């Protein structure tokens, strides 16, 4: 069965430093995508970045980048120059097989310290 694993329940990072949030996935689908979402305390899920399994390069979007290692089935999110507003829950997700809906990891709570 498809599964997304985030092993870090909580992380702390100093403001202006970089942080890596881990995500591993388990799928037999040859073509898949991986998404990262941010959920502030307000509750809304904010799309951050996407990586397709056939993309040649790691995805980047502003301060967000993906360290995509296909052989290891990992898609870690790197946030550079952390800001206080980055404090939130972060979820890794992937489509469920051929379906359109996503399955999510349990999330990582990131706290940025001033």
Partner 1 sequence: EAGVTQSPTHLIKTRGQQATLRCSPISGHTSVYWYQQALGLGLQFLLWYDEGEERNRGNFPPRFSGRQFPNYSSELNVNALELEDSALYLCASSRRGDRNTEAFFGQGTRLTVV
Contact footprint for partner 1 (CB under 8 A): 31-33, 35, 37, 42-47, 50, 52, 91, 93, 95-96, 98-107
Question: C-beta of 91: minimal distance to partner 1 in Å?
Answer: 7
Q: Which is nearer to partner 1, 56 or 98 (CB)?
A: 98
Question: C-beta of 15: minimal distance to partner 1 in Å?
Answer: 27
Q: Which is nearer to partner 1, 28 or 42 (CB)?
A: 42
Q: Which is nearer to partner 1, 4 or 82 (CB)?
A: 4
Nearest CA among 17, 38, 34 for reference residue 25: 34
């Amino acid at each position: 069965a498809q599964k997304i694993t985030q092993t870090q329940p909580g992380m702390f990072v100093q403001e202006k430093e970089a942080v890596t949030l881990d995500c591993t996935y388990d799928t037999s689908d040859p073509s898949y995508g991986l998404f990262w979402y941010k959920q502030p305390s307000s509750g809304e899920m904010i799309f951050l970045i996407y990586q397709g399994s056939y993309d040649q390069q790691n995805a980047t979007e502003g301060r967000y980048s993906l360290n995509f290692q296909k052989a290891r089935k990992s898609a870690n999110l790197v946030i550079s120059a952390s800001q206080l507003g980055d404090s939130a829950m972060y979820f890794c997700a992937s489509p469920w097989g051929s379906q359109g809906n996503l399955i999510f990891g349990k999330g990582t709570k990131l706290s940025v310290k001033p």
